[in-house]
Structure 1
Amino acid sequence: MKFWRKYHPDIDAADPRFKQVSLIYSVLLIMTAYFAIIGTLNVTLFHAPEIAFFDYLGLILALLILRYVSQGGNFRIASWAVIISIATILLAFVHLAEGRNYSLMWVTILPPFAFFLLGRRDGSWVSAIILGYCSWYLYQLINQQVTANLGLGALFNFIEVATAQVFLFRFYENSRQEAYDQLQKTAITDPLTKVFNRLHLDNTLNAVIAQANRFNQPVSVLLLDVDHFKAVNDKYGHFVGDKVLIKLCDVLRETIRETDSVGRWGGEEFLIICPNTNQQQAIQLGQRIIENVRAEAIENDIHITVSIGSATYMNDGEDTIDQLLLSADQNLYRAKHAGRNQVLGTP
């Protein structure tokens, strides 16, 4: 278990902030250890108290930021504080060393931290500004002949490395973000129908109900089942049956509102979550779905019908999510027993 969990018990692996928080704490711990060790070495071994001063300043800043985030501080602000602290210490070191002792080489550690903590856009321009400034500073040193062992070759080498780093880490961050987005999409999507899966529906319903409790709004759900789906599979085969479900989901996505969520509940059952929707509005949506599904040819002129059970959460202190889903399920079976191809809500 990560030690920072005790400071942020509400952030688990499913939370979008998890990676960011983990990275912030890792960077801060590295900064703390690095500045403490290097500062001590500069005092005791290299007899460079002026450089050690900035090392210990970095240590203090790292500890202050660590305290800030552990007490619930804004992670975005903490990320910027980390980058500004690192940049300040590195630039101070460059100026103190006047480009000697490979001081400019240390600036190249900034881009990975900037990209990882600030993201692609902010990481790009922050890295470009800092590395551009260092290139200009090195050029000034060469012109003024402050440092004898530096020449245009060193300047060009630094610019090449700096440019390569910016593009490399930007490419890496793009690739990582695309992979993360794809993985996240796969984790919440039903592989056949491409609508949300059961896990995401559970999380969405919990979030919608929580919001409804805060703002005293109704929430409705529609539980939908394909009528006589087994007969479709038996007559046309499971391959056609899959096409029926895929086409059905296309119709559902086109019919529901932007604020609604639809997902596969299981088999040929689908759940639609409707925030800020009362029972009458949910019934009307269910009727539109039935009409659109009935009118749409699915595969080889195959037409299907659906039965829908509707239920509404009223935030009256008695309803629960389980009761809401149970009511929708009971209404679905009432609709089937009443002849199918209809939507029924709680009487």
Structure 2
Amino acid sequence: MKFWRKYHPDIDAADPRYKQVSLIYSILLIMIAYFGIIGTLNITLFDAPEIAFFDYLGLTLAVSILWFVNKGGNFKVASWAVIIAIATILLAFVHLAEGRNYSLMWVTILPPFAFFLLGRRDGSWVSAIILGYCSWYMYQLINQQVTANLSLGALFNFIEVATAQVFLFRFYENSRQEAYDQLQKTAITDPLTKVFNRLHLDNTLSAVISQANRANQPVSVLLLDVDHFKDVNDKYGHLIGDKVLIKLCDVLRDTIRETDSLGRWGGEEFLVICPNTNQQQAMQLGQRIIENVRAEAIENNIHITVSIGTATYTNNGTDTIDQLLLSADENLYRAKHGGRDQVLGMP
């Protein structure tokens, strides 16, 4: 287990922040070790106190940012602080060395950190500004003939490398983000119906309930089941049965509100999570679903009906998620055994 997990127990490998936080901690630990060791060497061996000052400044900044994230600080702020600290120290070294001793080469480590921590857009303009400034500074040194180590050829080489870095890392970050987005979508989506899967519904319901507790608002769920779905499969085949479920989800998406979440609970059962919705509103939504499904021809003029059980979480001190789902399931059972094609709530 990564040591930082004890400071952020809510962030696991499935969290989008996981990689960013891992990188922040890795960079900070490297900065602390590097600046601490090099700063000491610059004082004891190389007699370079002016460089050591910036080494210890980098060490101080890294320790401060580490303390900030350990205390639960905003990761976006921490990411910007890391990039600003690295850029500040690198530019200070470039100016102290006046382009000598390959100081400009060190600036090329900034783009990967900027893209990985800040993302495509911010990483692009931050890298472009820093590298552009270094190109301008290098040009000034050449004009002033500060050092014989620099030439127009060296300047053009630096600009070429800097430009290639920005475009390559931007392309890489685009590809990585697209792959991650697709993976995230696949991980939370039912492959047949393209609605949310059971795992995502569980996580969404927990988040909605937490928000409802803070805002003291009700949350309702609608658990619905396709009536006589086995007969549809037996009569028309499983391929038609799959099309029935797909078309049903289309009807459900068109009926529920934008704030509601729809997912496949299992088999031919589906769950709708309705934030800030009381029992009466849930029953009204359930009735609209009943009517819309009943009126829609699904496949080859096949008509189906659904039964729905509703339940409402009211944050009364005794309600739990398990009780909420159990109540919805019991009401669905009553709707099925009471004639189907109906919505039932609290008895």
TM-score of the alignment, normalized to the shorter chain, above 0.5: yes
| Counterpart residue identity of residue 113, structure 2 | F
Identify the residue that residue 99 of structure 2 maps to in structure 1.
99
Identify the residue that residue 168 of structure 1 maps to in structure 2.
168
CA offsets 1:41-74 (integer angstroms, 9 cap, x no match): 3334444332222112211211121112112222
- Counterpart mapping for 1:116-127 below 5 A: 116-127=116-127
Cα distance in structure 1, aligned partners of 2:52 and 2:132: 26
Of 219-228 and 171-180, more deviation after overlay is shown by 171-180
Identify the residue that residue 72 of structure 1 maps to in structure 2.
72
Q: Secondary structure at the match of 2:312?
A: strand
Q: Secondary structure at the match of 1:119?
A: helix
Identify the residue that residue 132 of structure 1 maps to in structure 2.
132
Identify the residue that residue 280 of structure 2 maps to in structure 1.
280
CA offsets 1:67-111 (integer angstroms, 9 cap, x no match): 121122222222111111111111111111111111101000011
Query: Which 4+ runs in 1 deviate beyond 4 A?
Result: none
Of 141-150 and 156-165, more deviation after overlay is shown by 141-150
Identify the residue that residue 303 of structure 1 maps to in structure 2.
303
Cα distance in structure 1, aligned partners of 2:213 and 2:63: 39
Identify the residue that residue 340 of structure 2 maps to in structure 1.
340
Q: Secondary structure at the match of 2:273?
A: strand
Cα distance in structure 2, aligned partners of 1:72 and 1:266: 38
| Counterpart residue identity of residue 43, structure 1 | I
Tell me the CA shift for residue 209 of structure 1: 1.3
| Counterpart residue identity of residue 308, structure 1 | I
Check if 1:2 corresponds to 2:2: yes
Identity of aligned residues (%): 89
- Counterpart mapping for 1:42-121 below 5 A: 42-121=42-121
Identify the residue that residue 222 of structure 2 maps to in structure 1.
222
Cα distance in structure 1, aligned partners of 2:133 and 2:113: 18
Please list every run of 5 or more consecutive structure 1 residues that lacks an aligned counterpart in the other structure: none
Identify the residue that residue 193 of structure 1 maps to in structure 2.
193
Identify the residue that residue 202 of structure 1 maps to in structure 2.
202
Of 65-74 and 149-158, more deviation after overlay is shown by 65-74
Identify the residue that residue 19 of structure 1 maps to in structure 2.
19
Cα distance in structure 1, aligned partners of 2:260 and 2:123: 35
Q: Secondary structure at the match of 2:37?
A: helix
Normalised to the residue count of structure 1, the TM-score between the two structures is 0.97
Cα distance in structure 2, aligned partners of 1:305 and 1:146: 84
Q: Secondary structure at the match of 2:146?
A: coil
CA offsets 1:151-205 (integer angstroms, 9 cap, x no match): 1111110001111111111111111111111111111111111100111111111
Tell me the CA shift for residue 276 of structure 1: 1.0
Tell me the CA shift for residue 33 of structure 1: 1.4
Cα distance in structure 2, aligned partners of 1:216 and 1:40: 56
CA offsets 1:14-65 (integer angstroms, 9 cap, x no match): 3333222211111100111121232233334444332222112211211121
- How many residue pairs get matched? 347
Q: Secondary structure at the match of 1:221?
A: strand
CA offsets 1:243-280 (integer angstroms, 9 cap, x no match): 11111111111110001001000000000011111111
Identify the residue that residue 235 of structure 2 maps to in structure 1.
235
Cα distance in structure 2, aligned partners of 1:53 and 1:274: 58
- Counterpart mapping for 1:171-182 below 5 A: 171-182=171-182
| Counterpart residue identity of residue 81, structure 1 | A
| Counterpart residue identity of residue 322, structure 2 | D
Identify the residue that residue 312 of structure 2 maps to in structure 1.
312
CA offsets 1:116-148 (integer angstroms, 9 cap, x no match): 111111111111111000000000111111111
Tell me the CA shift for residue 292 of structure 1: 1.1
Cα distance in structure 2, aligned partners of 1:191 and 1:74: 35
Q: Secondary structure at the match of 1:222?
A: strand
Cα distance in structure 1, aligned partners of 2:317 and 2:150: 75
Cα distance in structure 2, aligned partners of 1:245 and 1:139: 66
Of 50-59 and 195-204, more deviation after overlay is shown by 50-59
* Root mean square deviation, CA, Å: 1.3
Identify the residue that residue 146 of structure 1 maps to in structure 2.
146
Cα distance in structure 1, aligned partners of 2:136 and 2:335: 75
